Amino acid sequence: MPEKLELQLQMSSIVISTNPFGDFSKVTIISDLLSDDDMKEMTRKAKKLWQKFVHQPQTGRCLVFFLILEKLCRIITEDFLKAMHHLAPIMDLGDIYTRVEGLQTNSEQAIKELALQEWTLELLYRMHVSLQASVDSVLGAKKELMAQVLDGPGTRSIALEATCQEYTGRVEDTITHMAVVSSKLEASIALQTRFEEAFSSAMAMADSRTSLNQNATVKQLTYLTMAYLPIGLIVAIFAIPSEQLVIKVPMGTTWLVISIIIALACTYLAAFYVGKIVRYVKSWWGKVGRS
């Protein structure tokens, strides 16, 4: 059983505002993910970027945005990987037929494991939807920012161009890693779904096997019941007092046994050929009706 895991929906908002001339910018960050230390580190790096691109404020704003975006993507990816690590023991599917057997015997442990696995599958769906939405949002922001970076001044110095490549490359790698984690989540969901389908098939097979066994038992009981009918009838006839003159000649145990055997044989023959007998009677009755 995994450790206690608490999942919360956390959101972040990044706003970069500037004056009409574009030479002064202000960054506003509202985030549940970034700690005070993270904010201090990014503030320090952002100041260096502002100073470095003081004559290219548009590019500077985009790189600061990339700086924050990379940090957020990295934290989001790590959180999702941590959640998947905690859920791994639950997603350990084990043997399907062992679980089927446990459910058939009403094992409390098997029932709890099945309920926990159903919850895990639903959780994986929600995690994937949330992460994929983050990936799509980040990709959209990156596309717009890259367009602004490319739309900047015609020529940059080698040092400034290297800084641009560094920050754009880092955010690209982080987004790619986040997309890979989203793909892993999707693969886990597919695996869990296939397990659910296989489990349902195994349960159906087990139920069919149980039904066949029950049908066989019912069939045996039916034959046994059929035997009771002629036996009871013959015994009842032989138990009638002689004064009733049902059996004129006194008969002993031997005749009782012989009569029971004959009655059993007739009963089972009638049961075996009941279909043919019914069809014959219907055919005969139809001929009588037409005549």
pLDDT at 173: 92
Mean pLDDT, consecutive 10-residue stretches, the chain (291 aa), reads 61 71 67 82 86 83 88 89 80 57 60 72 85 89 85 75 88 91 86 73 67 73 72 74 64 76 79 75 72 60
- CA pair distance 153, 64, nearest whole angstrom: 17
pLDDT of residue 254: 78
pLDDT in the model for residue 101: 60
Q: How many CB atoms lie within 10 A of CB 142?
A: 19
Encode 185-207: b = buried (16+ Cβ within 10 Å), e = exposed: beebeeebeebeeebeebbeeee
Nearest by Cα to 94 from 81, 110, 118: 110
**pLDDT at residue 1 in the model:** 45
Residue 117 C-alpha from the chain's centroid? 7
Helix (H, G, I), strand (E, B) or coil at 115: helix
Token pair belonging to 185: 């989540």
Helical pair 57-91 and 108-150, crossing angle rounded to 10 deg? 170
Q: For residues 206 and 215, is the Cβ–Cβ distance under 8 A?
A: no
Mark out the alpha helices in the chain (DSSP H runs).
Answer: 36-52, 57-91, 96-104, 108-150, 158-238, 253-272, 274-290
CA distance 236 to 290: 41
Rounded distance between C-alpha atoms, residue 228 and residue 224, angstroms? 7
Judge whether 251 and 235 are in contact, CB under 8 Å: no
